[in-house]
Structure 1
Amino acid sequence: MLTVMGLLFSTTALAQEAGGSGGVPDVSPTPTKQKAPPAPLGVFGSDIAAVGKFSVGFSGVFTGLANSRIGTKIVSPEYIVSTTPWFFDPRKPVRLVPSSVFATIQSISFSYGVAENFGIVLAAGAVEKRVAALTYAAPSGTRFLGQSYATVAGVTDLEAAAVLRIYRDEVHRVLISLGLTFPTGSNESQFRLLLSDGAYGTVRAFYSMQPGTGTYDFLPGFTYGGVIGPYSWGIAYRGRWPLASNPEGYRYGDLHDLHGWIGYSWIPELTTTLRVTGTTRGPIRGFDPKIDGKSQSANPFFYGGQRVELYGGATIAGSLLGLDRATFAIEAGMPIYQNLNGPQLFRNWQAIVAVRISL
């Protein structure tokens, strides 16, 4: 399968957390006696496109975050404005608390089979993030002033990767991938929110609201998949490691995603999967002096943490619907454990839908 992930969290920085770009499994037959079934939609680099063939994938990633945690503990907005200092002056408390974020990422990916065991993938996309923020009046205290809403939209960072299959037999396959992101998405976007003095102000959006990171990131990956009859399974790792700080003076912490899954093919054209994913990410290193709002989300230390999620999905070959060149996939899930550097909004759910067309 050639599935391109990002997103995602600016996870959370929301652009990374919510995901990045997505693709669809390649379910075309392999030269072995047994056809390799598709891996879950959220796994990158589980197979390679046929030699000399192009395919294009379209996907949508939808993510909802709400409420805040410090570690594993849920905390109220009133607790946050009473106990959390402003990053630029720890003598003063924060006055704005985000209550929810909804993010959508629409992506397009291109894959090409260069050789039997070597393929390349290019992915790009557009993201929209909507935040609801609670504002508290005066320099301190818990008097609620009002709620405001803001939206930030733009293109995501561009992603390119190569996938190399290093072993395959009738049961097992092993692949590695190497990729790089390019800072095509903006990290200087602005939004307008209600301030503690009752006025509305236009300021540089929080780190998690930016469409891009401003950095070049290295994307290493490894995938193992197995199949016996209708049963399939696998494990995979993918990282996102910023190579240097961006011109604004910061970079996200290293991201590590580890996946494990099982699958069952009810018929050759229909496979369902169950995936568990563990994610860990460090806090932002450095800071942008223009992201100076009195909010938890303007503090670079309140990003990253650990998360375990459970996803269910299905992949349908288009031949079942009379569309021989198409493949459809869907996957949705939610966290079962989160330990966040906070206070920080936590993820409630995520869903991915995609279609792949062989050219």
Structure 2
Amino acid sequence: MKSSNLLVGALALTASLVPFAAHAHSINADDHAPIGVMGDHAHKKGEIMLSARYMHMGMAGNQIGTDDVTPETITTTVPNRFAGMPMQPPTLRVVPEAMRAEMVMIGAMYAPVDAFTLAIGATYVTKETDALTFQGGMGTAELGRFQSSVEGFGDMKAMAIIPLLPLPDKTADRRDELYLKAGFNVPTGSRTKTDEVLTPMGTTMTMRMAYGMQLGTGTWDFEPALTYKARRGKIGYGVQGSASLKLGDNTQGYSFGDIYESTAWVSYRPAQWVSLSARAKARTMGSIDGMDPAIMGPTQGANPDLYGGERVDLLAGVNFVGTHGALAGHRLGIELGKPVYQDLNGPQLASDWSLMIGWQKAW
């Protein structure tokens, strides 16, 4: 996966926004929350906004709870859920060592009335996993490493954002905003992706990928959120609570765990065209309920119990906005995140870092 062209384009757009900072219009870089916060604003009647986001997430190393564990520990001590079935060893023999996911998200917002704004989003997903296979049914002799990958369209999002306070005067340096989001996950992503896997017996087999390597959840999910944000001169701040609640199982017979998130941020605007932000995010996710009978093997990703957990991330961001000329109203946001605490239903790959770059433009 190559993200260099996207990064170069983002930097070029950043540089192009700077010359338009000399003229003040009713646009500020901190009118929107950090780019990783969704559902943070609404629009006035007749307004349209288009957006594009690129996100990279990296995972490396394994944890059980809060403790790091080596592949050798996993393969000699963690039971294989499918032990006793034909060709299934007693412990795990295929251990993931790293994973990368990239997402390109395209969205549109439209306000038919001041009372609510409608939004829809689609995602294209690419995932890669590096795994280590141990030889035979026991011991720590390494057989070899291999890489699995999948790509395609993921689930879609549809939502309504309702302002609970009057929409703000964009020229005001003191303002408060409160929004309720009622959203749904639309199960358009595949849950049956396959790729080749190196087995402990030294053969290569085409198998259905683990739950975390699939492109969609397969379930309709209710995704509410409540967001408060404020500005006091050059200082902005906000909080959001959100959830993703699964509404039944998918056609493969399982559902991912419910997700609950909370986030808070503060921002500083040194100039009209740029603001800097710091954000903390806490997330808890349940394990998978049910099971896909086609996902099987001596690897942790095939066990529905080894998903979910708790995580706290710290993120640093910057927002740019063009304030005059051809780029007036074009926004560019960048946010970089790093986990500071993880308690995982493991063994499970631990999150390493994340990057989001996004463009927005309203008419």
CA RMSD of aligned residues (A): 1.8
Structure 1 residue 178, shift from structure 2 partner: 0.4
**In 1, Cα distance between equivalents of 2:279 and 2:325:** 26
2:232 corresponds to 1:231: no
**In 1, Cα distance between equivalents of 2:91 and 2:345:** 18
CA deviations 1:281-312 (Å, max 9, x no partner) are 01001111111021011111110000000001
Residues 64 and 344 in structure 2, CA contact (< 8 A), matched pair in contact too = yes
SS at match of 1:257: strand
**In 2, Cα distance between equivalents of 1:187 and 1:73:** 30
Identical residues among aligned pairs (%): 32
2:312 corresponds to 1:308: yes
Match of 1:129 among 117, 127, 134: 127
TM-score by length of 1: 0.88
**In 2, Cα distance between equivalents of 1:357 and 1:163:** 17
**In 2, Cα distance between equivalents of 1:92 and 1:84:** 9
2:182 corresponds to 1:184: no
**In 2, Cα distance between equivalents of 1:179 and 1:330:** 24
SS at match of 2:73: helix
Give 1:101's aligned residue: 99
Residues 29 and 321 in structure 2, CA contact (< 8 A), matched pair in contact too = no
In structure 2, relative to structure 1, the CA distance for the partners of 1:139 and 1:328 (3 Å cut) is same
Give 1:10's aligned residue: none
Give 2:80's aligned residue: 86
Structure 1 residue 322, shift from structure 2 partner: 4.5
Structure 1 residue 89, shift from structure 2 partner: 2.2
Matches for 1:58-69 after TM superposition, within 5 Å: 58-69=52-63
Give the letter aligned to residue 45 of structure 1. G
Residues 281 and 306 in structure 1, CA contact (< 8 A), matched pair in contact too = yes
CA deviations 1:235-258 (Å, max 9, x no partner) are 001111110001111101100110
What residue ranges of structure 1 are gaps of 5+ in the alignment? 1-27
CA deviations 1:130-174 (Å, max 9, x no partner) are 111100011122111000011111101011010001124743211
Give the letter aligned to residue 288 of structure 1. D
Give 2:252's aligned residue: 248
Give the letter aligned to residue 133 of structure 2. T
**In 1, Cα distance between equivalents of 2:116 and 2:292:** 40
Matches for 1:326-341 after TM superposition, within 5 Å: 326-341=330-345
Residues 262 and 275 in structure 1, CA contact (< 8 A), matched pair in contact too = yes
**In 1, Cα distance between equivalents of 2:311 and 2:118:** 29
SS at match of 2:90: strand
Match of 2:39 among 39, 45, 50: 45
2:112 corresponds to 1:114: yes
Give 1:13's aligned residue: none
Structure 1 residue 115, shift from structure 2 partner: 2.1
In structure 2, relative to structure 1, the CA distance for the partners of 1:36 and 1:59 (3 Å cut) is closer
In structure 2, relative to structure 1, the CA distance for the partners of 1:225 and 1:306 (3 Å cut) is same
Give the letter aligned to residue 32 of structure 2. P
Give the letter aligned to residue 81 of structure 1. T
Matches for 1:209-224 after TM superposition, within 5 Å: 209-224=213-228
**In 2, Cα distance between equivalents of 1:260 and 1:300:** 31
**In 2, Cα distance between equivalents of 1:197 and 1:48:** 56
**In 2, Cα distance between equivalents of 1:266 and 1:152:** 42
Moved more, 349-358 or 203-212: 349-358
Residues 302 and 341 in structure 1, CA contact (< 8 A), matched pair in contact too = yes
In structure 2, relative to structure 1, the CA distance for the partners of 1:36 and 1:117 (3 Å cut) is farther
* Larger fraction in helix: 2
SS at match of 2:45: coil
**In 2, Cα distance between equivalents of 1:202 and 1:52:** 51
**In 2, Cα distance between equivalents of 1:29 and 1:162:** 25
Give 2:21's aligned residue: none
Match of 2:50 among 44, 56, 64: 56
**In 2, Cα distance between equivalents of 1:128 and 1:36:** 31
Moved more, 167-176 or 69-78: 167-176
**In 1, Cα distance between equivalents of 2:26 and 2:30:** 7
SS at match of 1:138: coil
What residue ranges of structure 2 are gaps of 5+ in the alignment? 1-24, 169-173
Match of 1:163 among 161, 164, 182: 161
**In 2, Cα distance between equivalents of 1:102 and 1:44:** 22
CA deviations 1:10-65 (Å, max 9, x no partner) are xxxxxxxxxxxxxxxxxx959xxx99732111112111123202111111000100
**In 2, Cα distance between equivalents of 1:263 and 1:286:** 42
Structure 1 residue 114, shift from structure 2 partner: 2.3
Give the letter aligned to residue 67 of structure 2. K
Give 1:263's aligned residue: 267
Match of 1:73 among 58, 67, 77: 67
TM-score by length of 2: 0.87
Residues 30 and 269 in structure 2, CA contact (< 8 A), matched pair in contact too = no
